[in-house]
A and B are shown apart, each in its own frame.
Chain A
């Protein structure tokens, strides 16, 4: 007989939660360890030292103040795009359009700021306006997908993928056309903002404010989705839309709200890419953050709080890429390969949930 059976129900509930958490942690860490093992075998076959490799990942990701900042810098857009996937996923929508919302949001931010800069608006005025423009643009794009899903039964996965391509083409059309900076010869770009108009670093660091925005939004969205009536209605909708409708829940407005939040997160990621990194909009915005975000959100099991540490780990793998390339003579695609391997293993490990005897619900528990 399980010892917890005699405890009051509340404590029993706690142990069930704890067991679930332990299961998640064990399966995730096990998959990461297995990926690391496979990758070590791969490196050994190439005649490289796995020990040196993982030491360099640590050094390049977390070894010094510089590398930690580099890691955090890279994880900022991933946090935001992962949130953009997680919120619609909670209501049961597989939305893969964050890349498009990021690109279009970044572009709209870049051109919104230009007339304001020309008019002499201070950064404190123009940056919030540009950020708002980016968020509204991203929200509109993803809301369109949500509306098509709700009102026209158009599959949201495919339509958001199509809209991503349409968004990228739209940016290219304008960046190569009327908004092109004549000085940008090789890489068509919009007019640069100038350093003085861009988002600065968090005082005492080199990390831009996008990280703070990502972390704050992660906490806020976690509170919204798990601690409010709206969040409860959203989770019911995700669990069973027909039952939600039968209960009189406003499914349509829940979908529109969640897709708006999703698009706003991705658009904000685009704003920070422009306002803190590039200072203008160009093809560099199409960097695949939207797709990395999808995988990070899956690994976090759509939990906004878990997204932050996972995004930081993947930011660290990316940040260490340069060091590995220089010290070990491995191609820069090495970190992408390791990331891909971890993603594949973690997704495959979903099959293990509820099957490990150690974490199974026991009789009477």
Chain B
């Protein structure tokens, strides 16, 4: 293959791959942003992601309606979020440990009930063919974009707007920045945090439905490669800003897509290093910004991890 042609193949595969791989990242990042904006951290979104993937696949298999699967994944995520939100509202309970425990609980339920769905084929969510105008088959394939990606974009913009311009957005930010001022305004911080954790958990569930219904597009126990655990890193990367969550998700997605893209031109070694790149970058950003005023300004003041 000519070097230019190879480069083109890699770039097109990267584009499609970045969008595909980034979609679950986008949902867990947005979910974690809502939760952390309220001053609480949920380290267990991996459990929501895996449970959402299983529920979505099972529902789609039984009903033939993949969108019902997405709704079911959202509901499953809400339930796990409610558990996390309620337990963490009890006094003296450590939110980080509860996150890890609920992660293993959620994954446990998903594997327990998911066993019968490993073999059968469920109807998948079809992508929108946005590449019809092109004669390049690789580009057409790359532009088969799943509607969930656009749903994620819409939620990101809506969340960004709502945080800045609406009363619930203001209450959420205030609760996360200063519990005493929230109380002074007559807001019940416990209720706000539970709601924010529930909603965040639901979004992570939708991210899981993408894994089983679109890409990779089947249910098995090795489906998630830790996208849910990385939500916390994504949100730091995005500085608690929903719009920047989109860029963070695309960047993490692109790094994850680089391996398969290189494989398509016969380079099969060394790409694990690129998989680690976003984590190294996040670490550098944390080191660089840990003491700067910028970070202190962006992070919710009540968040245990920035105190």
- Interface size of A in residues (CB-CB distance below 8 Å): 45
Is A69 an interface position by the 8 A CB rule? no
- For residue B151, give the distance in angstroms from its CB to the closest CB of chain A: 27
Q: Interface with B: A161-169, A203-211, A219-227, A253-261, which one? A: A161-169
Pairwise interchain contact A165-B92, C-beta atoms closer than 8 A: no
- For residue A320, give the distance in angstroms from its CB to the closest CB of chain B: 15
A353 to B249, CA, bound (A): 41
One of A153, A339, A348 near B104 (C-beta < 8 A): A339
Contacts of A172 in B (CB 8 A): 272, 275
In A286-340, the 8 Å CB interface with B consists of: 288, 291-292, 294-295, 298, 330-334, 336-340
Is B243 an interface position by the 8 A CB rule? no
Is A158 an interface position by the 8 A CB rule? yes
Q: How many A-B residue pairs have CB under 8 A?
A: 141
One of A158, A330, A331, A351 near B232 (C-beta < 8 A): A158
Is B286 an interface position by the 8 A CB rule? yes
A340 to B97, CA, bound (A): 12
Given contacts A158-B236, A344-B87, contact A152 B290 (CB under 8 A): yes
Is B67 an interface position by the 8 A CB rule? no
Is B65 an interface position by the 8 A CB rule? no
A339 to B97, CA, bound (A): 14
Given contacts A333-B108, A336-B108, A337-B109, contact A347 B290 (CB under 8 A): no
Pairwise interchain contact A153-B291, C-beta atoms closer than 8 A: yes
Contacts of A112 in B (CB 8 A): none
Is A170 an interface position by the 8 A CB rule? yes
Is A176 an interface position by the 8 A CB rule? yes
- Nearest residue in B to A144 (C-beta to C-beta)? B283
In B263-281, the 8 Å CB interface with A consists of: 269-270, 272-273, 275-276, 279-280
Contacts of B283 in A (CB 8 A): 154, 159, 162-163, 166
Q: Which residues of B contact A (CB under 8 A)?
A: 83, 87, 90-94, 96-98, 100-112, 114-115, 226, 229-230, 232-233, 236, 269-270, 272-273, 275-276, 279-280, 282-283, 286-287, 290-291, 305-306
Minimum-distance CB pairs A-B, first 4: A340-B105, A333-B111, A337-B108, A169-B276
